[in-house]
Structure 1
Amino acid sequence: MLGLIAAYHAAAASDDPAQALAAAEAQYVAADIDYLREDLPALFAESRDGLDRVQRIVRDLKDFSRVGEQEWQFADLHRGLDSTINILRYEIKHKAEVIREYGELPEVWCVPSMINQVFLNLLANAAQAIEHQGTITVVTAVEGDKVLIRITDTGSGIPPDILNRIFAPFFTTKGAGKGTGLGLSLAQDIIRQHHGRLFATSVPGQGSTFTIELPLSELQPSAPQPESAPDTLKPADNGNNT
């Protein structure tokens, strides 16, 4: 484009403007300006879409880590679930469709970054448990004085003989070097520090459901400050895949 402008400028200043103009016209044809005129709006639109995606990724990472918010506070669990699902989008999209069945939830007293770490481990495990295309269903609800979050996958399921061991530290069904077996143990510890429960049910060959129960209270519970959440965004292996 700059070369074409220079060619027309040279034609205007040339002693033989007809010949210089002919050269500029030839360069105009070679540049296919009509094509560029049609294509540039689409290119600009793609660039804007790319910038929007980058902004969403940065926002989701910030929401997930809740930078500067490591203290107990009231938090929107749906916001944490959504940001975690978005972070795992590329790990999940080739394996499963995520179905969100959100109920009406009040904000919950918690350390958001730690709860998001639990969501990350459970959602990543759900995706890893699905060998081919399946679904991951996330259900939230209030039952009595508790908030429930259920994450169900249509994966391979967990055999009954190991279901009661999956929360044990270092338990894993993966080969050596492929996981530490700390993911579910860490998740359960975090939920216990929040005075809640984390448990699993499973049907081999059909899938598994992990349920989080957190207390619902308008008052701030007298809970000790939990340990800081792990810095890494990569979930630890935990034996959910069999």
Structure 2
Amino acid sequence: RELRGLAPRLAAAAVEWGRTGEEAEVRLVARFQDRVGSGAALDPLAEAEAADDVADWLREQGLGQTVDLADDLAEHGVDRAELDALAAGLRPDALAAALAYLVPVLRIRTLAADAAEASERVVELVRRTSAYTNLDRAPQRDADLREGLEATLALMAPKLRNIRVRREYGGVPDLQAFPSELNQVWTNLIDNAVDAMGGEGELTISTRREGDHAVVEFRDTGHGIPAEALPNVFQPFFTTKDLGKGTGLGLHVSMDIVAQRHGGTMEVDSRPGDTRFVVRLPLARDPG
């Protein structure tokens, strides 16, 4: 929508600039346009201060009516020194037309870069989603546990915003599994860990091989599970969460997927500040 509105603005400004600017001035503005916006982005406070300084400069040049350009110029890293250099090469009556042309050019360039970045993120999200759900693969296949863990972490990123995630991936071979179901297990365990930490803390996910089993461990720094509740955590409808925050089915379903569908085991050990869920999956299954 913003790009649609900028297009006619740029067209009108380009016509006016083409009518006003002399050849040397046009070249100067083109070089300025290519140069700005390549520095490091300012933090919001610094950008606001820069915009105020640019607005003062515009007023000093008798361009008070274009003070709304200050925010756009400051956002692209244009400061007083650069504006002084630009103005030195332009006739006074050409400066306003040059700035009116430059701002939509710079804004459109930013929007194009944002669109390209967003497209890349969409492609990555589709790839991660495919890895998470395995929609394009057979239900049971050779599974890379780390691939599933990373896909799950990517899709849960918003909930992990204030969680420090440590990865301690050891060498584990692929194993025959139902990857989308294991990803459901990883989701439940990560979700429980985040809730136990109140949305802030450290989650450590590790993988290793122990004999003929692959081991995946989730360790969090949350408040822990009361000792009297530990024997019941895998029972259906049992939950230690506040009323309305849990169904009591997540761990039960996860245990069913691990034990019944994959012939594995899941254990939990907990104390305040250190809760560990350990999933063990056989690397080879008996066909019978």
TM value normalised by structure 1: 0.77
Q: Which has the larger radius of gyration?
A: 2
User: Does the C-alpha gap of structure 1 residues 84 and 67 become closer, same or farther in structure 2, counting only changes over 3 Å?
Assistant: same
Hey, what does 1:151 align to over in structure 2? 218
Q: Match for 1:46 among 103, 106, 114? A: 114
Hey, what does 1:28 align to over in structure 2? 97
Hey, what does 1:197 align to over in structure 2? 265
Q: How far apart are residue 208 of structure 1 and its match?
A: 0.7
Q: In 2, distance between residues paired with 1:167 and 1:207?
A: 19
User: Does the C-alpha gap of structure 1 residues 9 and 134 become closer, same or farther in structure 2, counting only changes over 3 Å?
Assistant: closer
Hey, what does 2:11 align to over in structure 1? 2
Q: How far apart are residue 173 of structure 1 and its match?
A: 2.2
Q: Match for 1:63 among 131, 148, 158? A: 131
Hey, what does 1:183 align to over in structure 2? 250
Contact 1:70 1:112 in 2 (8 A): no
Q: In 1, distance between residues paired with 2:157 and 2:12?
A: 43
Q: Match for 1:129 among 196, 200, 218? A: 196
1:222 aligns with 2:287: yes
1:120 aligns with 2:129: no
Q: How far apart are residue 52 of structure 1 and its match?
A: 1.7
User: Does the C-alpha gap of structure 1 residues 37 and 2 become closer, same or farther in structure 2, counting only changes over 3 Å?
Assistant: closer
174-183 or 80-89, larger mean C-alpha shift: 174-183
Q: In 2, distance between residues paired with 1:39 and 1:181?
A: 51
Higher relative contact order (CA 8 A, sep 6+): 1
Contact 2:217 2:279 in 1 (8 A): yes
Give the match's secondary structure for 1:164.
Answer: helix
Q: How far apart are residue 55 of structure 1 and its match?
A: 1.7
TM value normalised by structure 2: 0.65
Q: How far apart are residue 46 of structure 1 and its match?
A: 2.8
Number of corresponding residues: 207
Hey, what does 1:227 align to over in structure 2? none
Contact 1:71 1:111 in 2 (8 A): yes
Identity of aligned residues (%): 32
Hey, what does 2:50 align to over in structure 1? none
User: Any gaps of 5 or more consecutive residues in structure 2?
Assistant: 1-9, 21-92
Q: In the TM superposition, what whole-angstrom CA distance separates every residue of 1:133-191 from its partner, at most 9, and x where no partner exists? A: 31100110001111000000000100100011010000012344332110000000000
1:80 aligns with 2:89: no
Q: In the TM superposition, what whole-angstrom CA distance separates every residue of 1:88-131 from its partner, at most 9, and x where no partner exists? A: 1110112x111000011111110110011101110111111112
Give the match's secondary structure for 1:202.
Answer: strand
Q: In 1, distance between residues paired with 2:276 and 2:17?
A: 70
Q: CA RMSD in A?
A: 2.5
Q: In the TM superposition, what whole-angstrom CA distance separates every residue of 1:28-78 from its partner, at most 9, and x where no partner exists? A: 2462x3345555544433332222222222211111010043522111110
